[in-house]
Structure 1
């Protein structure tokens, strides 16, 4: 009898031992994994595009943003973040793009999906309007600066403790990047950097306003009923 009870207790211990927990991952954990994998694939895709540009006779960078040219406006604004001049150019963008993009996506994937097109369009328009004549702008750095501005903007406009903590984190790690919005280096598109950063801040502001209006809309019926009941 004691052997049977010992066996049953042993099974219970194994069932409640976290180390032996073979339960499937939670939806939240699967979501985080999927987002991280998506960013790994996105960055890998940028390197594949660079490799294809090097080994094929077609010059992909011709589809970048040609300043003040209708032909360079589209597909230039959309294509430019996927194109890079060389290994050094892409290498300098890879880690900050992955880190900032991953943080922004994990914080709020729907808000990230809202912010990214705003960043791409405003960064591209800034480069298109203000770059030198006949210049072609390529690279993901405008998106990188946009994500930096977006994460900092969330801390300012949303004022949630998590967003403030993230803003402090990215400022400590990548705050020195802000010098890149100034015309300090030749052949570097400070225009794309500056307007990308502005686009990120604008996206954070617009998203905060959307949340505020949604909150007011949801609270109004309750306030109305409360008034009628008195």
Structure 2
């Protein structure tokens, strides 16, 4: 069982020290994920992109359904992987720094929703691979997570990321040639769904004798606690 300072997955840091520790874990997790993606790209390139052809998501191919979990790690070219690597690291880190266990569940959910939308609705002659679905999922998650968790810092991060990268949504709609907008849309849906499914379910903090501390049932109790942890109250 988790402690009162953690959610039911036991992954939400309770204070600045834990937040820093989880951020450090998130950095190494994303570094490791990118290392795997690039090592696969080297093997893929050496084999004339046979891995991408063999493990791509193809609409209606029942035997290829497990490839939904593999396709996000593969790419069609060096330009493809280079364009995905930066956003994947940035949004992945922002999605992971509140808890690596939660992040792994989120990643699985996004991969499934992104791949499922492609498998269901893409043309049957199209092979889809790439980390773009994960990127869009992490983006959606980061933008709305703070609203569900009622965390001030996450809400501010979401506002900044949403305003700065809103242009990404232009490739989640039909019409962009050579881009799997269905995969992007499916990933975005997975990220938004994940923000709700993996939201903070911690019990309310206990009351305090400090007269400046709001009651535990106060609607802004979590906000006051986080501001206090950051030394702003």
> For this structure pair, what is the TM-score category when the shorter chain's length is used for normalisation?
0.7 to 0.9
**CA deviations over 1:87-114 (Å, ceiling 9, x no partner):** 1111111000000111111133333223
1:133-191 deviation line (CA, Å, top 9, x unaligned): 13211000000000011111213322321111110121133221011110121221100
Query: Whole-Å Cα distance in 2 between the matches of residues 195 and 102 of structure 1?
Result: 20
Q: Quote the residue 2:37 is aligned against.
A: 46
Q: Alpha-carbon deviation of 1:64? A: 1.3
> TM-score, structure 1 length as denominator?
0.75
Q: 1:27 and 1:102 mapped to 2: Cα distance?
A: 16
Structure 1, unaligned runs of 5 or more? 1-25, 224-230
Distance 1:194 1:163 in 2: 23
Distance 1:170 1:34, change over 3 A: same
Q: Does 1:207 align with 2:195?
A: no
Which of the pair is proportionally richer in helix?
1
Alignment equivalent of 2:70, drawn from 50, 57, 79 = 79
Between the two structures, name the one with larger relative contact order (CA 8 Å, sep ≥ 6).
Answer: 2
Note the residue ranges of structure 2 that are not aligned, 5 or more in a row: 1-16, 207-216, 218-233
Q: Name the TM-score, length of structure 2 as normaliser.
A: 0.74
Task: Give the distance between the partners of 1:29 and 1:158, measured in 2 at CA.
Answer: 18
Distance change in 2, residues 1:184/1:46 (3 Å)? same
Distance 1:115 1:31, change over 3 A: closer
